Each structure stands twice: as C-alpha cells, then as structure tokens.
Structure 1
Amino acid sequence: MRSSSYLMEHQQYRPPHKPENHYGIDTVVEDLQAASVSPREFSSFKGIPSPENPPKIVESGLSHELSHPNCTPLPGRHTDRLVATLFYRSTAPRVSNVIPSPQKGPSPQGGQSPSVRAADSDIPPTMAPSSSLDSFPLEPPAAEPEPLDHLYGSHVSSMCITSFLHLLSTFPLPQGVTDYNSAHRCLKLDGGQDRHPLVVELTVSPAPSLDYLSLADLRKHELIYRFEREWNVDVALQSDTLWRRYPRLVVFDMDSTLITQEVIDLLAATIKDPPDLAARVADITHRAMLGELEFDSAFRERVKLLTGLPASIFHELRSVLQVTKGVRPLLRALKRLGVKTAVLSGGFLPLTSWLAGELGIDYAHANEVVVDEATGRFTGEVKGRIVGKERKRELLMEIAEKEGIPLEQVVAVGDGANDLLMMDAAGLGVAWNAKPRVQMEADARLNGDSLLDLLFLFGFSEEEVSQLIA
C-alpha cells in the first residue's frame, strides 16, 4: 500500500489535491522531477556503526540508536567484555539496620514519660554503653548500608541496574577508551502479576582495566560487596568468553551441595551411647567446613568416633538422603547439553556411588572406611587416601584430562573450605549456600533455594532452561 487508504489507492480517478502526504516513493519522485536536487555524499556502511555518530532510526515515535558493543571486533582487536549476573535474594530479605528511638509511652498527664525503662526500649542491650573497655569496642562498628530494595522493589529493579553501572564507571577503563557500552537481559522473572526480574545479565564493554584491577580482585572489591548488601543481590562477574557459555564438565561436592545433609552427621546420630556423640561430630564437621580444622585429620577423628557402627547403615541411610532442590532437573539439563558430571565427596563411597547412579552422574569418588569382615562393623580406620581438598583438585584434573576437556570449560560447585582448591582449579568455581570464607574466595556465589540457578551463569534464560529440563 502506498497510503493508508485502500479506496484511494484503487479508485480510477485521483483528485488533484492530495488529502495526505504519505504516498509511496513513486509520488515523491514525480514531485521532484521539476525540482533541482543538489548531489549529496553518503559514507558507505561497512557493517560497524560510527562511534562518533551512531546511526539513529526514528520510527512511529520510537528512537533506536545502533551501537556495536556486541559486534565482532575489528581486525587486530579482541573482545573484552564483562558479564555481571545479578541474582536477587528473594529467599533471604534484609532488614533495616536503623535502630529506632526508645518507645516512649504517654504519661498519665498526656505528655511524654520523663524516663524510659530498659524493658520499654527496642534498642538491643548490646548497644548500651559499658563501663569496661575490655568488653566494649573502642570504635563503633561501621554502619551497614540500608536495604534499597525496600524502596525500589523486591527484585532487580531498573534503579539497581543503574546503580551497578554507575559503580562500574568508577573503575578505570583500558587506555584509549573513554566510555562504557552496556546491554542487559532479564533471565528470570518472578511469579507476580507485574513479572519483575529476579535474575538479570548485564554485559559491559570493555571490562575495567586489568592493569588496575584483575577480575579476581574486582570480585572481592568492597564496593561490589557493599552494592550486594544495599540491593540484596549476589553479583557473579565473568569474562564474556566462549568457555563461559559452553562448559563441558561440572563437578559437585556432595554433602550440603547435592544433598542438604552431612552424611557423617547422619551416621553419628544413629549412635545413642554416648549421648553427646552426634553433637561432637557435628561440631567437628562445622569447624572443618569453615576451614578452622584440617579436613583430613578432622575426618579421621570423626571416623574413629564411629567405631563399631554396622556397615549396613549405608543401605539404611539411602531413604533418608534429601536431594537439594533443582539438582535432578539440573543434571537432566546438563546431560542434554552433553556435559559430563562428577561428584567428589569427602564422605563415604557406598552412599556417593549409589547417589551418583540414582542421579545419572558420570564419575563418583569418595572415602572408603575399613569394615571388619568378621563382625561387619567399622574399625574406625580409613582405607587409602582421604578425599580432602588436595585430592579433590587432583581428581578434577584427572577427569578433565581423561575426557580431553580444558580446565577453562570445567565448573566446580561446593560449599566448604575443602572445596576451595577444586574450585580454584576449575574455570569457574561456584559457592553454593557456602560458608563465609568460601563465599569470599569463590568466583561466583549462589544463595538461592534451587541449584538450577547454576544454568543462569552460563547465559541461559528461564525459557531456555524450561526447554532443557522438559
């Protein structure tokens, strides 16, 4: 159609006075036949818009500016993009840290009470002054940032994204670059009526100058940490490389990662004499995961406490194991992508091998305890080398070498200090609801309720995840 009127285009007679000026190009040419048009030079389009004057298309009131942060680079240059994946912590909302004033009740005369008892105040007792300098810090702790998601929405809001881009602009750019280019995608939406984003992927080009700040240091920067506290999000920073989007081996810890429990604590809970054994074992486990105790010696100590336990307990515990939410669909998605999987556990091989078979995991490695053949009970000894932090790293590298997979395409997921070396050897180390030290050291952190969130780190959207797990 040359105009918006069907009748006008198909009637035999066209009136001389045109009621509208939106005819086709042939009408424009007819009108210009008697006019003189001065020639104008146009620069040829080479596939890359000019950074000085980016092309702009204005159509129906919409303005489209064409930029090239995601185009292939010019010959002789390389892509240098940073991907930031923002996960909103919907399951762990922060509360305001403002301490309200004391709750002063009205006096009988209608005025304010001249004095307020401690029981009538909502100020915690620990905030009161102390007469002892030994029990009171010389300087008050630094105030935590206010939770801005309370003001701008309990999701990854547009103000949150703007704030993050402003934060990145404070870091120096590579030499010769004057400005950032950015783009974002919403990977996951909530279930509300307005469908707010819960996971957002930001692509920034170029990445901050590596001469000033390496990626590892940028992940631990105090400004990033403060931003996460302000907006109640976890920020995963990765270089936008080919390997980020195409992992080929994913290695998991077992206890508190693939399952929600610690197997050795479950074993100790079955022993009723002495009655405090379960608490003692759980305390050693907790301290070992925090990195306060050497894992190998702590494991031997706990196994010693289990002396006399029947080996049949491994079969009995199968029905007790609670698989972490999202693990089964995650492994199904990884299998459809052709990704190899492995579980490297500091626990016990009988349960680890059984769980790997149930979930379809390709490799399983864990510890073996010595069982007395005559009695069928634990002797309190461990057979062979303990699968601790060094052994986990060695096993990860052995599996990758066997499968012909470069370490850049390996992902390691864990929660304890004994997983740090394994996570450091992998191209991407992910802390899953991990201990504080692991949260700080890992490349990325996931603190949600479903391990399926791991796929968002690879750049998959919620729609694509649904296709993978169908």
Structure 2
Amino acid sequence: MADDEAGASQRQARPSMTTAMRSSSFLKEHQQYRPPHKPEGHYGIDTVVEDLQAAPVSPREISHFKGIPSAENPPKIVDSGLSHELSHPDCTPRPGQHSERLIATLFYRSTAPRASNAIPSPKRVPSPKPSQSPSFRAADSNIPPTMAPSSSLDTFPLEPPAAEPEPLDHLYGSYVSPMCITSFLHLMSTFPLPPGSTDLTSAHRCLKLDAGQDHHPMVVELTVSPAPSLDYLSLADLRKHELIYRFEREWNVDVALRSDNLWRRYPRLVVFDMDSTLITQEVIDLLAATIKDPPDLAARVADITHRAMLGELEFDSAFRERVKLLTGLPGDIFHELRPVLDVTNGVRPLLRALKRLGVKTAVLSGGFLPLTSWLAGELGIDYAHANEVVIDSETGRLTGEVKGRIVGKERKRELLVEIAEKEGIPLEQVVAVGDGANDLLMMAAAGLGVAWNAKPRVQMEASARINGDSVLNLLHLFGFTDQEIQHLTA
C-alpha cells in the first residue's frame, strides 16, 4: 500500500503543460535552438504576426517589397547572421559600373611532386659521383640545395644558393587545398587596389578532380575583383612577380593569370609548335640518331638542339648547322620516321574538342615539312608550315641545304599573323602553344601564349604555363570543367 502511494506521488510530481501555459505558437512551445543574436522573446515569424495583430502599427513603418530592388533596398536573404546577396561583383557589377576582374587558374603539379629541402627523401638516388655528367640535376640528389657542392675552396661558390621555400602541399594536401586558395587570396590582397576600391572579393570553382577515392581538386579557377591596380603593376609584370613564383614553388602549382574578358572564353585559332609539344621528341635528333658514323653525331646534334631551345643559340644558324650534319641521309627517311613519332598525351582529344568548338588549328614547326604535313593530316590540323630540305635528284639523299626561309622565331610570328588575317580572326582570340625559345615571338603576338612543359626562359616569358602529363589541360584555361571536356572529347 505504501508503494502505491509513493508511485502516485511520483506521478503527480511529473511536470505537465496546462491549458493556461499553452499558446497558439507551435515554434514557441517546441523550438529547441534559438540563435544567440535574436532577443529572448522572439521565437519565430508566427509570434511576430500574433504580436502585430494585437498592437497598432503605423502603415508608414512597414516597407512593403514590390519586387523592384534598388540601391537602398538591395535583394538580400538574411539567415542566421549571414547575408546572401543575389548580385555580387564577381558575378556582375551594378549598372553603369565596370569591374576589372582577374582570373587565376591553379593547376596542381600532380606528376612532379617536390621533395622537402630540410629532410631529404630516402627514395632519392645516391649522391652523384665525380665522374658523372655535370648535367646531373641537383633535384635527383640526396644533397640539399643549401649544402656546399664541394670540399675544395677553389670550386666553392661566391654565395650559397638561395634556399627553396618549404613545400606546403606536403602539410595541407597534395592538391589545390583550401589552405592553398586562402594563401593565394592573402597574397593577392597585398597588391594595391585601383583608386576608389576598398574591398577585394573573390569566388572560386573546381574545374577538375583527381581520380582517387577522395576526389581532391586538381584545377581550381578563382575570380578576383578588382584586379590589382594597373598603375602599380601590369598584368605582364604580375605574372612574373617574385611572390607569385614563390607561391607556385611552395604549393607545387602553376598559376595562370588572365583578365576576365569575352575573348578569354572564346578562342578561334590555336597554333602549336610541333617538336616537344605536339610530339614528345625532337625530329632532328631522331634523324641524327640514324647516323652511326661518326658515333657521336646524335649527341652533338642533341646538344645544339637543347641550347637552341634554351635560347643560348640563334635558331636559324643552329638549324642550318644541324642540317649540315645530316648530309647524306636518304630522302625517304622522313617516311620511315612516321611510326616512330610519339604524339603527346592529350593532343588527339584536344584537337577533337577544338574542332567541335569550331576553332581553327595550325602547326608551325622549326622541323621538317614532310613529317609536319603528314602529322597535321593525321591529327586533322588545318594549317602546317615547316622547313624544306634539299634532296639531290640523282642520289636521293639530303644535301645539307635548306630551301627558302627558315621557320624560326620571326617566321613563326609572321605565319601566325598571316593565318589569323586570312581567317578574319583578331589576335586577341589566338592561342599559341610551345616549349622553346623560338616560340616566344609567336606566343607574344597571340592573345594567350602557353608554355607547355617548357624551358625555363619560356616558362618565365609566357602568358601562362602548364606542366603536366596531358595537354588537354589547355581547355581549363578557357574555363571548361572536366565534365564539359569529357562531353567535348566524347
């Protein structure tokens, strides 16, 4: 009996909501979370309506939205303290205003990871022996770049080499990470803004994900508004800025900077170099490799080619010198080399996508016309120009002479302008892709010059640089996403 009385006492002590405590507001009774910035007595929109019904309100105190936004009443959605504007400087400026926006495309160098300077990687090969070639790269050694290269004072450098920045992608993710984007925006905020501008706004979107399980961003496009003041720094100088270069080294990315204009998204002519661009080899080196006597001929020709691409030698004279070394080769050697040519990864789908977009293509090669014309036909390229060598009509062998004007750096620029004029295409809608110093003039004449896995001088001079395993990444510079590229190349 006592137990029954105790249980009844407990049941009576249980809290309950009486009719007097109830209200007509469901939110007021059941809401479990209240934003901290709202007053204690505010529970939701229904309570606001209930309070308004009981209180006299002057009609002039309520501003009814009639569907016409204005500068005084911009269209906004305010939720939990965040303001989501329906118009934004990175989307469209206000009527009558003009915004100079900058597009930055960040490519992560997934195929060329950089090891830390402070802690040598155990996977690296042993230190080079004194008998090895002096061209042995320091990056292939376990010796950090800041360590003395010799124990002899006679060969000691006057100044120690500058320390490379630490690879931050090792810490924050081997991809274009949020910290990488934050670091880049912080870098851009250090440049002066145009007069009258007080805030730097930005927007970003991922263009390409990796194929791994986590699907990390590999190519990200950022829109920065406004662009740094042109009075302080031109776009050409901004691309070469030391802070941009250091950022690329820190995060293992390539940064392509372009003005956000109409022509950026609509190229109409793309011009390619051939050797080490459309194909992975240098044709003249392939020709020299077929000559066995003297045995060092291939190495001599390859050395001249390398120095010419670096810009250490004048291309025209270097080309004549190399062709002279090929005297006596059979004229049908170009036909025999066709199966040997290795087309660069991504070239075929890239050209297929450009054709579907209605873009004209051309190859301007400092190599040999027989192979260039054949490759252009195989790939569906509209224009092909290269050098013609003299073949003796009696012996059928190369004489070591070149017909007409050599397709060097000046001639490449002239041909690019001629093709653009013939097609009625402004130079702003022309893109030139190359890797050597002989491509710099045509890249400068085009609206966009792209250095593809290029020599150091070309990397610094070009409008944009892409270092990767597929030239198909060129389409990301035009703003195409990976899904759109797959649709174009299907």
Q: Rate the CA distance shift 1:130–1:17 in 2: closer, same or farther, 3 A.
A: closer
Residues of 1 paired with 2:92 and 2:148: CA distance?
Answer: 61
Counterpart in the other structure of 1:104 = none
Residues of 1 paired with 2:76 and 2:234: CA distance?
Answer: 34
Q: Rate the CA distance shift 1:378–1:169 in 2: closer, same or farther, 3 A.
A: same
Structure 1 residue corresponding to 2:102, chosen from 57, 78, 82: 82
The C-alpha deviation readout for 1:234-253, integer Å capped at 9, x for no partner, is 00000000000000000000
SS of structure 2 residue aligned to 1:127: coil
SS of structure 2 residue aligned to 1:188: strand
Q: Rate the CA distance shift 1:339–1:128 in 2: closer, same or farther, 3 A.
A: closer
Counterpart in the other structure of 2:182 = 162
CA shift for structure 1 position 90: 0.6
Counterpart in the other structure of 1:289 = 309
Structure 1 residue corresponding to 2:61, chosen from 14, 37, 40: 40
The C-alpha deviation readout for 1:319-368, integer Å capped at 9, x for no partner, is 00000000000000000000000000000001100000000000000000
1:184 matched to 2:204: yes
Residues of 1 paired with 2:473 and 2:149: CA distance?
Answer: 45
**Which one has a bigger Cα radius of gyration?**
2
Instruction: Give runs of aligned pairs for residues 204-353 of structure 1, distance below 5 A.
Output: 204-353=224-373
Amino acid at match of 2:264: R
SS of structure 2 residue aligned to 1:258: coil
SS of structure 2 residue aligned to 1:217: helix
CA shift for structure 1 position 127: 2.7
Q: Rate the CA distance shift 1:191–1:76 in 2: closer, same or farther, 3 A.
A: same
The C-alpha deviation readout for 1:139-176, integer Å capped at 9, x for no partner, is 32221110000000000000000000000000000011
**How many residues end up aligned between the 2 structures?**
432
CA shift for structure 1 position 457: 0.3
Residues of 1 paired with 2:196 and 2:49: CA distance?
Answer: 46
The C-alpha deviation readout for 1:235-278, integer Å capped at 9, x for no partner, is 00000000000000000000000000000011111111111111
Counterpart in the other structure of 1:6 = none
Q: Rate the CA distance shift 1:336–1:128 in 2: closer, same or farther, 3 A.
A: closer
1:58 matched to 2:79: yes
Structure 2 residue corresponding to 1:201, chosen from 212, 221, 224: 221
Amino acid at match of 2:26: E
Counterpart in the other structure of 2:402 = 382
Percent identity between matched residues is 83
SS of structure 1 residue aligned to 2:103: strand
Amino acid at match of 1:83: I
Q: Rate the CA distance shift 1:85–1:71 in 2: closer, same or farther, 3 A.
A: closer
Counterpart in the other structure of 1:145 = 165
Counterpart in the other structure of 2:487 = 467
Runs of at least 5 residues in structure 2 that lack an aligned partner in the other structure = 1-21, 29-43, 121-141
CA shift for structure 1 position 34: 4.5
Residues of 2 paired with 1:133 and 1:54: CA distance?
Answer: 72
The question of whether the paired residues in 2 share the 8 Å contact of 1:187 and 1:199 is answered with: yes
Counterpart in the other structure of 1:358 = 378
CA shift for structure 1 position 35: 3.4
Residues of 1 paired with 2:144 and 2:201: CA distance?
Answer: 47
Structure 2 residue corresponding to 1:20, chosen from 17, 21, 26: 26
Residues of 1 paired with 2:117 and 2:418: CA distance?
Answer: 48
The question of whether the paired residues in 2 share the 8 Å contact of 1:261 and 1:322 is answered with: yes
Q: Which has the higher mean CA deviation after the structures are superposed, 24-33 or 439-448?
A: 24-33
CA shift for structure 1 position 42: 4.0
Residues of 1 paired with 2:339 and 2:183: CA distance?
Answer: 47
Amino acid at match of 2:266: Y
The question of whether the paired residues in 2 share the 8 Å contact of 1:99 and 1:123 is answered with: no
Residues of 2 paired with 1:37 and 1:339: CA distance?
Answer: 64
The question of whether the paired residues in 1 share the 8 Å contact of 2:389 and 2:398 is answered with: yes
The question of whether the paired residues in 1 share the 8 Å contact of 2:176 and 2:219 is answered with: yes
The question of whether the paired residues in 2 share the 8 Å contact of 1:48 and 1:68 is answered with: no
Amino acid at match of 1:391: R
1:397 matched to 2:417: yes
Residues of 2 paired with 1:273 and 1:297: CA distance?
Answer: 23
Amino acid at match of 1:214: S
CA shift for structure 1 position 77: 3.1
1:424 matched to 2:430: no
Residues of 2 paired with 1:339 and 1:306: CA distance?
Answer: 37
CA shift for structure 1 position 129: 8.6
Q: Rate the CA distance shift 1:124–1:17 in 2: closer, same or farther, 3 A.
A: closer
CA shift for structure 1 position 375: 1.3
Q: Rate the CA distance shift 1:77–1:31 in 2: closer, same or farther, 3 A.
A: closer
Residues of 1 paired with 2:64 and 2:47: CA distance?
Answer: 27
SS of structure 2 residue aligned to 1:255: coil
Residues of 2 paired with 1:26 and 1:73: CA distance?
Answer: 37
Q: Which has the higher mean CA deviation after the structures are superposed, 68-77 or 269-278?
A: 68-77
TM-score, normalization by structure 2: 0.83
Q: Rate the CA distance shift 1:306–1:339 in 2: closer, same or farther, 3 A.
A: same
Amino acid at match of 2:79: V
The question of whether the paired residues in 2 share the 8 Å contact of 1:80 and 1:240 is answered with: yes
1:458 matched to 2:467: no
Amino acid at match of 1:207: A
Amino acid at match of 2:61: R
TM-score, normalization by structure 1: 0.86
The question of whether the paired residues in 2 share the 8 Å contact of 1:49 and 1:67 is answered with: no
Amino acid at match of 1:141: P
CA-based RMSD of the aligned residues comes to: 2.7
Q: Rate the CA distance shift 1:230–1:49 in 2: closer, same or farther, 3 A.
A: farther
Runs of at least 5 residues in structure 1 that lack an aligned partner in the other structure = 1-15, 101-121
The question of whether the paired residues in 2 share the 8 Å contact of 1:367 and 1:382 is answered with: yes
Residues of 2 paired with 1:49 and 1:375: CA distance?
Answer: 83
CA shift for structure 1 position 388: 0.2
Counterpart in the other structure of 1:10 = none
Q: Rate the CA distance shift 1:386–1:43 in 2: closer, same or farther, 3 A.
A: farther
Structure 2 residue corresponding to 1:442, chosen from 462, 465, 478: 462
Q: Rate the CA distance shift 1:127–1:318 in 2: closer, same or farther, 3 A.
A: same
The C-alpha deviation readout for 1:199-258, integer Å capped at 9, x for no partner, is 000000000000000000000000000000000000000000000000000000000000
